[in-house]
Amino acid sequence: MTAMTRNPNQASPTESANAESRIYSRPRTAIVTIVLGLIALAFGLALSVTFGAKDIKLFTVWEAILNYQPDLTEHRIIHELRLPRVLGCMLVGSSFAVAGAIMQGMTRNPLADSGLIGLNSGAGFALALCLAFMPGLPYMYLILFSFVGAALSAVFVFALASGVKGGLTPTRLVLAGVTLSALLTALSEGVALYFRIGQDLAFWYAGGVAGTRWMHLQIMTPWVGAALLGALILSRSITLLSLGEDVARGLGLRPGAVKLAGTVIVIVLAGSAVSTVGAVSFVGLLVPHFARKLVGVDYRWIIPTSAVLGALLVVAADLAARTVRPPYETPIGALIAIIGVPFFLYLANKEQREL
């Protein structure tokens, strides 16, 4: 904190152009937001569990959790379908949002998002290869392969970025990510067409949480939990890094090490989220910006707030996806993109300077 207030001329990552922008942090707002967010999340959870093809009373839900009786159909629906689904939404939302926050902080790039940068499509391509060449692979390995895919495309984009003097401008990073996505999507489509796994993959690409089961959560939770914890530990360094590499170095930080750790966390978060829900973009873009507006520029607060708000966004989107036209489900990836695109346009056009 003290380090930050000492540099009033250093701009936040969103507004690095206008150097006079104030550094601010509002821990109290952050705590209130997190608490309110958690309460809203609890409501969302309850709503999401009760709502569906079969309406179930809240009381039954409560009973199903406290006093589970496997021979009751309603209890089984709650236990085996709805709860894992909504918990999956929460994990995925937090993962994408925190991954986006870390990337935005590390790269000082307001448009960074795991989907826009091409990580999602890397994981998707890895998944396509798995479905094609190793059908019936256990989920544990699918998740590992999607890590590998996400990691490879991250390494690729970051390597390209570091090859350019002075780093990548936001525009170039987005363009590189979009192009990489186009390439990997084309390859995945080719694989899908050849091996006739198009439909599996299409639904996956559009983003679906309907298939989440306890088994997925069991595998995912340790990874995501560890990565979120890592993100919290790293958050102070990310705040420093978001002030600029030179400043961070001057304050005794080793930017290389922090960036490496941050990238690993991003890959774990984005990789596991993508392997569960499919290629959902824009969560990592929307949520951290919103969090930053609320709580200021300190990543020690941005990261937990983003985790809560991200979970809330995806739970809400999932609820909306089921309400738009029951009993059919609209892919949540598409729904979030419909909210995310106008916001992206706003960000891209807001600033007077060239991005």
Residues in touch with other proteins (CB under 8 A): 111, 116, 160, 163-164, 169, 171-172, 174-176, 178-180, 182-183, 185-187, 189-190, 193-194, 198, 202, 206, 281-282, 325, 328, 330-331, 333-335, 337-338, 340-342, 344-345, 348-349, 354-355
In the complex with other proteins, which residue's Cβ is closer, 253 or 283? 283
CB of 166 to other proteins, least distance (A): 11
d(CA 43, CA 40): 5
In the complex with other proteins, which residue's Cβ is closer, 191 or 303? 191
Distances (CA, A) of 343 to 156, 236, 278: 27, 27, 21
In the complex with other proteins, which residue's Cβ is closer, 276 or 330? 330
CB of 293 to other proteins, least distance (A): 20
Helices (H), 51-118: 58-66, 73-77, 83-107, 114-117
CB of 202 to other proteins, least distance (A): 7
Closest CA to 51 of 310, 283, 315: 315
Question: Burial code of 334-348, b = ≥16 C-beta within 10 A, e = fewer?
Answer: ebbbebbeeebeebe
In the complex with other proteins, which residue's Cβ is closer, 39 or 341? 341
d(CA 141, CA 127): 10
CB of 279 to other proteins, least distance (A): 11
d(CA 31, CA 36): 8
In the complex with other proteins, which residue's Cβ is closer, 40 or 355? 355
CB of 124 to other proteins, least distance (A): 14
In the complex with other proteins, which residue's Cβ is closer, 174 or 258? 174
3-state SS assignment for residue 253 = coil
In the complex with other proteins, which residue's Cβ is closer, 261 or 332? 332
CB of 179 to other proteins, least distance (A): 5
Contact between residue 278 and residue 333 where contact means Cβ atoms under 8 Å apart: yes
CB-based contacts of 319: which residues, under 8 Å, 6+ apart? 44, 47, 48, 51
CB of 160 to other proteins, least distance (A): 6
Q: Which helix H or strand E contains 173, and what residues bound it?
A: helix 170-195
In the complex with other proteins, which residue's Cβ is closer, 51 or 343? 343
CB of 78 to other proteins, least distance (A): 26
Contact between residue 271 and residue 149 where contact means Cβ atoms under 8 Å apart: yes
Read off the amino acid at residue 292.
R
d(CA 75, CA 2): 52
d(CA 176, CA 157): 7
In the complex with other proteins, which residue's Cβ is closer, 65 or 175? 175
Helices (H), 207-298: 214-242, 245-250, 255-277, 283-295
Cis? peptide before 327, omega within 30° of 0: yes
CB of 3 to other proteins, least distance (A): 33
